[in-house]
Amino acid sequence: MRFFADENLEQPIIERLVRVGHDVAAVPSGQEGTTDPVVLAVSAAENRVFLTNDKDFAELVFLKRQAAAGVVLVRLPRFSTPAKVDRVLEVVAEQGERLLGVFTVIEAETTRRRPFLSVRRET
């Protein structure tokens, strides 16, 4: 799978995804702090599922209807980093291509998926 990691995503998650064969891009060094709409647009343009810990992306895709290839929101506040890595990798392996075109929320015991509404493409 092709992913785009938000700058708030833990580095061990990125490293493990790459280690198991996924293609993971991120905000280039020196461009940290790029706005959420811009990083989501880059992710969509590159057809990459966006990985984040930031709930604000739900507003972008559902209320503002910004285009996205897919969004995965990691909501594991009480997990240690190694446990979070394991849970994210478990869901990615389980869901695979079903992460495309949906907003997925990874929680401790559940994974929720919600299809995007009709999306307005940015020009």
Report pLDDT digits (tens) over 49-108: 999 999 999 999 999 999 999 999 999 999 999 999 999 999 999 999 999 999 999 999
Q: Is the pTM of this model over 0.75?
A: yes
SS3 62: helix
CATH numbers and ranges of domains, the chain? 2-115 (3.40.50)
Residue whose tokens read 């890595």? 85
Per-residue pLDDT tens for 16-52?
999 999 999 998 777 778 899 999 999 999 999 999 9
Using CA atoms, how far apart are residues 30 and 95, in angstroms rounded to an integer? 33
Give, in order, the Cα–Cα distances in Å from 120 to each of 35, 51, 68, 108: 19, 21, 10, 32
In angstroms, how far is the first alpha carbon of the chain from the final one? 26
